[in-house]
Amino acid sequence: MPSTLPVGEPVPADGALPQSARKGTGDLGLYLHVPFCSTRCGYCDFNTYTAEELGPGVSRANYLETATRELALMQSVLGNSLRPVTTIFVGGGTPTLLPPAQFATFLDLVRDEVGIAPGAEISIESNPESVDAIDLEKLRAAGFTRVSFGMQSSNSAVLKTLDRKHTPGRVVHAVAEARAAGFEHINVDLIYGAPAESDQQWQESLEAAVALEPDHISAYALIVEDGTKLGAQVGRGEVQVADDDALAIRYLMAEEILSANGMQWYEVSNWEKPGGACAHNLAYWKSQDWWGIGPGAHSHVAGVRWWNVKHPVAYAQALEQGQSPAAAREILTSDQIYDEQILLGLRLRQGLSVSELTPAGLARGTDAVVEGLLEPADFEHGRAVLTLRGRLLADRLAVELLSL
Amino acid sequence: MSASPAPKPSATPPELLRNFCIIAHIDHGKSTLADRMLQLTGVVEARNMRAQYLDRMDIERERGITIKSQAVRLPWAPKAGPNADKTHILNLIDTPGHVDFTYEVSRSLAACEGAILLVDAAQGIEAQTLANLYLAMENDLHIIPVLNKIDLPAAQPEKYAAELARLVGCEPDEVLRVSGKTGEGVIELLDLVVDTMPAPKGDPNAPARALIFDSVYDTYRGVVTYVRVIDGHLTKRDRILMLSTHVQHEMLEVGVIAPEPVSSQGLGVGEVGYLITGVKDVRQSRVGDTVTTVTNPATVALGGYKDPRPMVFSGLYPLDGSDYPDLREALDKLQLNDAALVYEPETSVALGFGFRCGFLGLLHLEIVRERLEREAGLALISTAPNVVYRVVMDDGKEFTVTNPSEFPTGKILEVNEPVVRATVLAPSEFVGTIMELCQTRRGQLLGMDYLSEDRVELRYQLPLAEIVFDFFDALKSRTRGYASLDYEPIGEQVADLVKVDILLQGEAVDAFSAVVHKDKAYAYGVKMASRLKDLIPRQQFEVPIQAAIGARVIARENIRAIRKDVLSKCYGGDITRKRKLLEKQKEGKKRMKMVGRVEVPQEAFIAALASEPDPTKESGKK
């Protein structure tokens, strides 16, 4: 069972935006969700379906055809404010379960109908075992500039507890193949705190990841979600996962090893080599505009957030009937926009401008410098930037900066 | 032959009056029997009948108990016997039925010549009923023993008739058997009241003296005072004088309850009715006081008047600090109807602004709290109830401590605590477990008697402090609910008591200070420290929790500093989910109270102050 959607207000059948959001400006991102996986991993609560789970009515073969209908909807809804996209991110699920040719067609369509800005970042997620050298060459040729591999761990026992199907060695080859195919920007995703993972194993995973010399590494703590197989196992006491203290230690290990290898954090869970930051990822934290295509995909345009119906069948049906597949939306109030700005901006290396803080928030910020949560030098220069300790307590500090 | 006409109020010959009450335990069917009497005497028509007619407050109906007493005038001509067809006036004086209101009970009894001892035929007599029976017998009341609920399949009328006969001093076959539910035996009971209970005697020509046995505030009419005239006559033109408080009042209305108020010319010797004087506060018309007239005042007050004395104290705080003015207003309003309730403003570091309130006992506390929450819509936190300590210092200075956090420091000569005489009635199989419980509560056995082969009365002297918290619950759970308890204050004793403070990061949390016996201080300290450790969320810094007697730390726990409080990612751009989490956390933060630098959620205070789950209950589940 994938995670549940938020509660919001209804969206008009034609998907029309409220007046307030019809003048979107600045960078525009495009997200394409591919809701398929060959098997479901025990910890995953993303909106993705195996062939058996999916049922009749939707197939991998015609999925991108359906998705292009939403591209057309996007054109009509954005109307005058439609502009060439600066980032495209294809995520999942396991996008590379679909043949590269389909993505080539899709990107061509985007280029023709919407426009792709010069120098745009075009990323695709991939499981190491679901692509080969030829696929990667085709994806690069189709226009993708960046590939992200779900490495997760270098330890086969840990991969097994996560239900991942690839072998540690496959990642090494996949990265080499990507590089050979001409990808300059390569990311590997890591997960720490898996059941039975030791500090030692985590250290080995980090070292294995940097040895691949990607220009981007994401390291996420395993989150035990309700409604997942892992959640049930933890609930029954069958499996133990690392507690917050252990996760904190592993985060510090990540920072130590990654920074020692020429990488710098630019967001709490993301590290880059110079020039390697993911612009599409940053767009989320900066509340820029993006349109999410696909079942369960989230979008944001000028203070309006909406999300699509989750099931691929319901999604396809809405579009076939010429209607918006949006399940609900929220039109953010100025207070909500402010809260998000602090909450999200605080996570970034560039931090917040202290001029954005309320007097009470500024007072709390000043204390947070003394407590070692914010960088003193940056604060003096008008930026609230998290220290290493502060990164581990970012959510708490955000609440404090926003509480009067 | 038809019955003689009913005598009118103010002109009822005393020999036609019968003033009586019903002594019964909660749930033994007093209100149902009273309802049946109202119907049979014809004062309430069947179509106007509602259950528990005389209980006016929601809480009274819901809990099946009477908190305030009331009197109702019932005309009754016996169907047979020496007084057949001669219409008498029965005044049924309803009495409160709980240990906390012993004084009010005693005043109601003083207004009567007789009492119906009503006992559930399936349960037998309970400790409070027994205590009230003894009180009635001390007042020389004529007792009619009655077994109720004889229609129940579980009824054991033979067994309990023998028990009642032994207590009252009659033959088992003289115990009347009725069913308030079906009405069986109630006519016979009413006849018996007329035939066996004495009529009131008083001097009609003496200066008026009337006993106040209840005083109730009514929003529309002000205070309604319920009286029983002992001597003389009160008329609606009199100016009246209260002999204990020496206040004078204009009489606005005199009347009787039948069972709705009916005004009359006055009230004569032996009559029971109400007075309305325009007073707005029951403290100016106190239970137990004597009413006389200004023009021809009596000089000697009726005996037995006592100022209500609070025995149990607790701090009441609004959950939302901005409700403080509403709480004050609600207490002011409640006090108009409750002369025993006392309160004064109090500030707690942990809980903010509130009131230290004094109560007659635990039920009184519960009722007040419930009325504040229900009638004023307030959400409240109450601190653990405590008793009053009298602390004598080495230099002879004395302190009366009603709040443990104000326990004096310095050289203490002695600490005095109130003690009670407690009576426990229970099946004899539980004697051992009851003795064990009373032992752990510092009890001293005063005596033990068998009421019947398998029922025992145990008398203990106990510190009041040991029973105000959870004694009754513990007693009930150890005796599978069969034991009943009654107690009365009998003075004070010197005891080895100390104040235990609970400190967070070195700062004492006033709401958690407690005065406990020296032998129990360590256990209290350990319990509170470990409870708080579980209840207080981790902070950015380490928080030591200490329990201390003065400067001496007797227990210690640590809340380790939190190291990680950040979610690593957002779900495919689902910022909404993340923001909603933030909004929830912001809300949670508003409910935090600061103790020094430590944030303590309000729920932690509530949970830490709540009585703990009974360990015997836990083991019983296995």
A243 exposed, middle or buried (CB, 10 Å; 0-12, 13-18, 19+)?
Answer: exposed
Nearest-Cα residue of chain B relative to residue A373? B540
Q: What is the dihedral of CA A251, A257, A261, A267, to 10 degrees?
A: 10
Interface residue B587 vs chain A (CB under 8 A): no
- Domain ranges for chain A, please list them: 19-285, 333-404
Distance from the Cα of B587 to chain A's closest Cα (Å) equals: 9
Tell me the CB-side half-sphere exposure of residue B288, using CA atoms within 13 A.
18
Residue B621: predicted pLDDT: 31
B573/A290 touch (CB, cutoff 8 Å), yes or no: yes
Q: Which two tokens stand for residue A195?
A: 């059941």
Check for a shared fold between A19-285 and A333-404. no
C-beta separation of B384 from B514 below 8 A: yes
B589 neighbourhood in chain A, CB within 8 Å: 399-400, 403
Residues A112-140: pLDDT tens digits? 999 999 999 999 999 999 999 999 999 99
Interface test with A, best of B542, B559, B563, B564 (most A CBs within 10 A): B564
B568/A394 touch (CB, cutoff 8 Å), yes or no: no
A47/B565 touch (CB, cutoff 8 Å), yes or no: no
Cα–Cα distance, B428 to B414 (Å, whole number): 38
Strand order in the sheet with A289-293: A264-267, A270-272, A216-221, A185-192, A146-152, A116-126, A85-92, A28-34, A289-293, A298-301, A304-308, A326-331
Q: Which residues of B19-34 are buried (b: 16+ CB within 10 A; e: fewer)?
A: bbbbbbbbebbbbbbb
Residues B225-282: pLDDT tens digits? 999 999 999 999 999 999 988 889 999 999 998 888 899 999 999 999 999 998 888 8
Nearest-Cα residue of chain A relative to residue B579? A340
- Residue B70 scores a pLDDT above 80: no
A298/B575 touch (CB, cutoff 8 Å), yes or no: yes
CATH classification number, A19-285, choose in 3.40.50.10800, 3.20.20.70, 1.10.3720.10, 3.40.50.300: 3.20.20.70
- Of all residues in chain A, the percent with pLDDT exceeding 90 is 82
ipTM of model: 0.91
Q: Which residues is A189 bridged to in the sheet?
A: A218
Alpha carbon separation from A133 to A93, A129, A177, A213, B570 (Å, rounded):
20, 11, 5, 18, 31
Domains of chain B: 12-194 (3.40.50.300), 207-291 (2.40.30.10), 310-382 (3.30.70.870), 388-494 (3.30.70.240), 497-607 (3.30.70.2570)
C-beta separation of B34 from B92 below 8 A: yes
Residue B65: predicted pLDDT: 46
Comparing A274-278, B106-110, B393-397, which segment has the lowest mean pLDDT?
Answer: B106-110
Quickly tell me which residue has 């012993």 as its tokens.
B102
Residues B563-619: pLDDT tens digits? 999 988 766 678 998 899 999 988 888 778 888 889 988 778 878 877 554 333 333
Distance from the Cα of A45 to chain B's closest Cα (Å) equals: 9
Alpha carbon separation from B455 to B17, B26, B160, B425 (Å, rounded):
38, 19, 11, 7
Q: How far is CA B100 from the centre of its chain?
A: 4
**Total Cβ atoms within 10 A of residue B84:** 14
- Among A10, A4, A3, A1, residue whose Cα is nearest residue A327: A10
Q: How far is CA A386 from the centre of its chain?
A: 21
- Among A21, A33, A15, A141, residue whose Cα is nearest residue A91: A33
Chain A from 135 to 174: CB within 8 A of any B CB = none
A307/B576 touch (CB, cutoff 8 Å), yes or no: yes
3-class DSSP state of B371: helix
Residue B620: predicted pLDDT: 31
Interface residue B597 vs chain A (CB under 8 A): no
Nearest by CB to A305, from B565, B576, B586: name it.
B576
B150 exposed, middle or buried (CB, 10 Å; 0-12, 13-18, 19+)?
Answer: buried
Residue B51: predicted pLDDT: 64
Q: How confident is the model at residue A222 (pLDDT cuts 50, 70, 90)?
A: very high
Q: How confident is the model at residue B486 (pLDDT cuts 50, 70, 90)?
A: confident
A304 neighbourhood in chain B, CB within 8 Å: none
A395/B567 touch (CB, cutoff 8 Å), yes or no: yes
A292 neighbourhood in chain B, CB within 8 Å: 572-573
- Of all residues in chain B, the percent with pLDDT exceeding 70 is 93
Got the DSSP string for B453-497?
A: TTEEEEEEEEEHHHHHTTHHHHHHHHTTT--EEEEEEEEEEEE-E
C-beta separation of B312 from B358 below 8 A: yes
Tell me the helix, strand and coil percentages in chain A, rounded to 5.
Answer: 45, 20, 35
Nearest by CB to B572, from A247, A298, A399: name it.
A298
C-beta separation of B272 from B73 below 8 A: yes
Mean pLDDT, residues B435-460: 93
**Total Cβ atoms within 10 A of residue B579:** 21
- Among A341, A335, A332, residue whose Cα is nearest residue A284: A341
Distance from the Cα of B560 to chain A's closest Cα (Å) equals: 10
Cα–Cα distance, B571 to A310 (Å, whole number): 13
Q: Which residues of A168-197 are buried (b: 16+ CB within 10 A; e: fewer)?
A: bebbbebbebbbebebebbbbbbbbbbbeb
C-beta separation of B585 from A403 below 8 A: no
B575/A287 touch (CB, cutoff 8 Å), yes or no: yes
Distance from the Cα of B559 to chain A's closest Cα (Å) equals: 13
Residues A172-211: pLDDT tens digits? 999 999 999 999 999 999 999 999 899 999 999 999 999 9
Residue B56: predicted pLDDT: 53
Cα–Cα distance, B165 to B285 (Å, whole number): 39
Cα–Cα distance, B272 to B10 (Å, whole number): 10
Kindly provide the residue ranges of all beta strands, DSSP E only, lying in B176-319, ordered along the sequence: 176-177, 209-218, 222-231, 234-235, 239-242, 248-250, 253-257, 261-263, 266-267, 272-276, 290-293, 312-318
Residues in chain A: 404
Q: Average per-residue pLDDT in chain B? A: 88
Residues B285-305: pLDDT tens digits? 888 999 999 999 999 999 877
Residues A224-252: pLDDT tens digits? 888 889 999 998 989 888 999 999 999 99
B575/A340 touch (CB, cutoff 8 Å), yes or no: yes
A47 neighbourhood in chain B, CB within 8 Å: 572
Got the DSSP string for B39-71?
A: HHTTSS-GGG--TTTT--SHHHHHHT--SS-EE
B567 neighbourhood in chain A, CB within 8 Å: 223, 395
Interface residue A113 vs chain B (CB under 8 A): no
Q: How confident is the model at residue B451 (pLDDT cuts 50, 70, 90)?
A: confident
Nearest-Cα residue of chain A relative to residue B582? A399
Residues in chain B: 622
H and E: helices and strands count for chain A: 16, 14
Cα–Cα distance, B223 to B245 (Å, whole number): 16
Cα–Cα distance, B124 to B130 (Å, whole number): 10
Quickly tell me which residue has 């910890």 as its tokens.
A43
Distance from the Cα of A182 to chain B's closest Cα (Å) equals: 27
B563/A300 touch (CB, cutoff 8 Å), yes or no: no
Interface residue A16 vs chain B (CB under 8 A): no
Mean pLDDT, residues B431-441: 95
Interface test with B, best of A187, A298, A330 (most B CBs within 10 A): A298
Interface test with B, best of A288, A310, A342, A396 (most B CBs within 10 A): A396
C-beta separation of B466 from B485 below 8 A: no
**Total Cβ atoms within 10 A of residue B353:** 17
How is domain A333-404 classified at the CATH fold level? Answer: Arc Repressor Mutant, subunit A (1.10.10)
Mean pLDDT, residues A254-261: 98
A388 neighbourhood in chain B, CB within 8 Å: none
Interface residue A109 vs chain B (CB under 8 A): no
A243 neighbourhood in chain B, CB within 8 Å: none
Cα–Cα distance, A13 to B537 (Å, whole number): 46
B138 exposed, middle or buried (CB, 10 Å; 0-12, 13-18, 19+)?
Answer: exposed
B563/A6 touch (CB, cutoff 8 Å), yes or no: no
Distance from the Cα of A170 to chain B's closest Cα (Å) equals: 26
- Residue A2 scores a pLDDT above 80: no
Dihedral sign from CA coordinates of A229, A232, A234, A236: negative
3-class DSSP state of B365: helix
C-beta separation of B399 from B349 below 8 A: no
Q: How confident is the model at residue B55 (pLDDT cuts 50, 70, 90)?
A: low
Interface residue A251 vs chain B (CB under 8 A): yes
Residue B171 CB contacts under 8 Å (≥ 6 apart), including other chains: B165
Interface residue A33 vs chain B (CB under 8 A): yes
Quickly tell me which residue has 């079942």 as its tokens.
A295
Interface residue A300 vs chain B (CB under 8 A): yes
**Total Cβ atoms within 10 A of residue B491:** 10
- Residue B57 scores a pLDDT above 60: no
A330 neighbourhood in chain B, CB within 8 Å: 576
Phi, psi of A399 (to 5 degrees): -60, -45
Chain A from 189 to 208: CB within 8 A of any B CB = none
Chain B from 521 to 580: CB within 8 A of any A CB = 540, 560, 562-580
- Residue B151 scores a pLDDT above 60: yes
Mean pLDDT, residues A294-304: 95
Write down the pTM of the prediction: 0.71
B586 neighbourhood in chain A, CB within 8 Å: 399, 402-403
A245 neighbourhood in chain B, CB within 8 Å: 560, 563-564
Q: How confident is the model at residue A57 (pLDDT cuts 50, 70, 90)?
A: low
B566/A395 touch (CB, cutoff 8 Å), yes or no: yes
